[in-house]
């Protein structure tokens, strides 16, 4: 048996993972700079992990990954990233918050202004077997939520933009609950089985 090719491919895989992690750390640092947050090792580690993640992480998931980081530092890093719009917090029906990297952080300010309030505008998929949560960001100009909102008016004679539909939803909110109510976030959660659990 010649173990050479297997060792070589394992080393190649390890090298690729290392490059991906370095890229995620560099991207995390650049995003922290972009929103004028102090750059700390904890914030870089946490944001890089969220950027690399395929699904949202709970605090416990992060604690398991970063055993050297104390719980308070981790909570503070997650809260700071959430407040800055670099990550968002997803409330689960199991009463566990999960965190995912923000995708529209360029519009957010570091102090939670109104532009940050509007940044979390996409759907989620929650697996009812393993409880993993996946962001439905979509790609291109329109994200998943925009494409769903656009479906609501696809048969109308005049096309309604997702922004117009959001205004209509806001008007419906005020018509139902009265003046003064202002929605700043639309949540859409699809529940089912992820690809791993469906087998």
State pLDDT tens for residues 39-49. 999 999 999 99
Distance between CA atoms of residues 144 and 138, nearest Å: 5
Per-residue model confidence as pLDDT tens digits over 140-177 = 444 565 665 555 555 544 555 667 777 777 788 788 88
Looking at 120, 135, 155, the residue that finishes a domain is 120
Share of the chain above pLDDT 70, in %: 65
Contact 50, 57 (CB under 8 A): yes
Predicted confidence at residue 14, as pLDDT, reads 46
Looking at 102, 120, 138, the residue that finishes a domain is 120
Question: Do residues 12 and 27 both lie within one domain?
Answer: yes
Angle at 175 between CA 169 and CA 177, to 5 degrees: 100
């Amino acid at each position: 048996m010649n173990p050479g090719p297997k060792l070589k491919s394992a080393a190649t895989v390890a090298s690729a993972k290392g490059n991906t992690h370095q890229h995620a750390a560099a991207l995390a640092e650049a995003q922290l700079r972009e929103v004028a947050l102090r750059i700390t090792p904890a914030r870089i580690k946490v944001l890089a992990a969220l950027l690399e993640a395929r699904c949202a992480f709970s605090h416990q998931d992060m604690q398991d990954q970063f055993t050297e980081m104390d719980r308070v530092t981790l909570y503070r890093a997650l809260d700071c990233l959430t407040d800055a719009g670099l990550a968002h917090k997803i409330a689960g029906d199991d009463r566990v918050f999960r965190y995912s990297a923000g995708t529209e952080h360029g519009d957010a300010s570091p102090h939670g202004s109104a532009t940050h309030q509007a940044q979390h505008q996409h759907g989620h998929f929650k697996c009812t077997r393993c409880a993993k949560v996946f962001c439905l960001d979509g790609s291109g100009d329109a994200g998943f939520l925009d494409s769903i909102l656009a479906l609501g008016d696809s048969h109308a004679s005049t096309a309604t933009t997702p922004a117009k539909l959001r205004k209509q939803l806001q008007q419906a909110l005020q018509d139902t609950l009265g003046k003064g109510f202002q929605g700043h976030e639309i949540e859409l959660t699809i529940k089912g089985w992820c690809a791993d659990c469906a087998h």
